[in-house]
Amino acid sequence: MKKLNIVYIARSIIPSRTANSVNVMKMCSAFASLGHKVTLLAPFTKKLEEKGVNDIYEFYGVEKNFEIKKLFSPNIKFLKKKIYSFRCLNQVKKIKPDLVYGRDDIFAFYLTQKAGYKTIFERHDNFIDDKYRLDESIFKKFIKENVNNYKLITNTQKLKEYYCKEYNLKSEHVHVASSATDVPKDFDTIPDNCEKFRNTFNVGYIGKLAKMRGIEIIIKLAQNLPDMYFHIVGGNENDILHWKNESGNINNIVFHGFINPKETYKYRNLCDVLLAPYINADELFDYMSPIKTFEYMASKTPMICSDSKIIRETINENCSILVENNDINSWINALQKLYNDLEFRKKLIEEAYQYCLENFTYQARCKKVLDFIQK
């Protein structure tokens, strides 16, 4: 494939702890690792950025193989998005890329497409919320004014179906690219402060600590399985205080707090089993692509995951034990099965890891996106 000059436009705060900023940085690095020249455009928002970060690439754990250009985005109500989008257009005109790609800022993509640049837009949500009314009207123009060449990337099949139905898009013009993960090179190193857990059975969760994210399930598991240690990575001080109170401060739950993304692999290495308890996922997450599960599979750690339609878009019984959220006994039985059956655990690890390599790495995702564009 011809090597491309790609401009990736984002509105993500970089550096920050947000999942979308991680996705943006990883995608840019993956495009670059395939031999393409990549420039990331992101807003300059010093007050909102993560403090104490000296090296953005190191913070995200990505290779320094692409350029980041920060564009000033003034905090002026109703105007800041528009001003930022025009600044992106000016940068695109200077760079003259083969492809403009990215997410969130539809006005910037409308402008670059209108200026004659090949432009691909990625969506992870719909436009139903009232705050997206203006974005939706611009998206309709984006589609209408380039009826023969438009392309759209979604992260779930359900979202593709939504866009095809609501905006009369042809199926071949919309491509599903599930979210992705890095594949670690180190499967042995554990955190220095966790050496005391090396010879115990460790169960882990890495992610947000908001309600309905499944921490309730983990607390019940810890209460019923006192010989196992449950490690929860993520959340701020208030989140941790809340869940400690909810758990009654039992001694087999360990809250590690927020960990730099490049260091979380060590906590996955620590664990014998990883949990992805999405409570009522079908009701709460219309278009979720479960990044957590891809990270778990890539870590060569067996996983127990909530069973739901949206999870089954990408996950099946060959790579995870799927259980009903409301049946705590099923969660307990699944954990005990993985504790006792080493052959089953090994088989689950091997199948999940291979499935992840083929479908859910950032390089695999970027290849699929570029193949779609070529077609």
The model's pLDDT over 18-52, given as tens digits with 9 standing for 90+, comes to: 888 988 999 999 999 999 999 999 998 877 788 88
**Whether residue 171 has pLDDT greater than 70:** yes
The 10 Å CB-count burial string (b at 16+, else e) for 55-78 is ebbebbbbeebbebeebebeeeee
Statement to judge: residues 140 and 74 lie in one domain = yes
pTM: 0.80
d(CA 192, CA 94): 47
d(CA 111, CA 116): 9
**17 backbone dihedrals φ, ψ, rounded to 5°:** -90, 0
For residues 69 and 41, is the Cβ–Cβ distance under 8 A? yes
Is 186 domain-assigned? no
Which residues, at least 6 apart from 122, have a Cβ–Cβ distance to it below 8 Å?
A: 101, 102, 103, 152, 153, 154, 155, 177
Statement to judge: residues 365 and 355 lie in one domain = no
Q: What is the mean pLDDT of residues 121-139?
A: 84
* pLDDT given at position 76: 66
Statement to judge: residues 275 and 322 lie in one domain = yes
CA 118 to chain centre: 25
Average pLDDT value over all residues in the chain: 90
Number of domains in the chain: 2
Q: CA nearest 261: which of 12, 7, 23, 13?
A: 23
Which residues, at least 6 apart from 78, have a Cβ–Cβ distance to it below 8 Å?
A: none
* pLDDT given at position 42: 94
* pLDDT given at position 287: 64
Q: What distance separates the 2 farthest-apart alpha carbons in the chain?
A: 63
* CATH code for the domain of 317: 3.40.50.2000
Statement to judge: residues 354 and 370 lie in one domain = no
Statement to judge: residues 365 and 353 lie in one domain = no
pLDDT tens-digit map of 217-261: 999 999 999 999 999 999 999 999 999 999 999 999 999 999 987
Binned at pLDDT 50, 70 and 90, residue 285 comes out as: low
* pLDDT given at position 313: 83
Q: Which one has a higher pLDDT value, 271 or 208? A: 271
Statement to judge: residues 176 and 215 lie in one domain = no
Statement to judge: residues 40 and 129 lie in one domain = yes
Q: Which one has a higher pLDDT value, 373 or 152? A: 152
For tokens 């859910």, what's the residue? 360
Statement to judge: residues 285 and 152 lie in one domain = no
**54 backbone dihedrals φ, ψ, rounded to 5°:** -90, -30
d(CA 208, CA 220): 18
Statement to judge: residues 156 and 269 lie in one domain = no
pLDDT tens-digit map of 138-170: 999 998 888 777 789 998 888 999 999 999 999
The parent domain of residue 50 ranges over 5-180+361-374
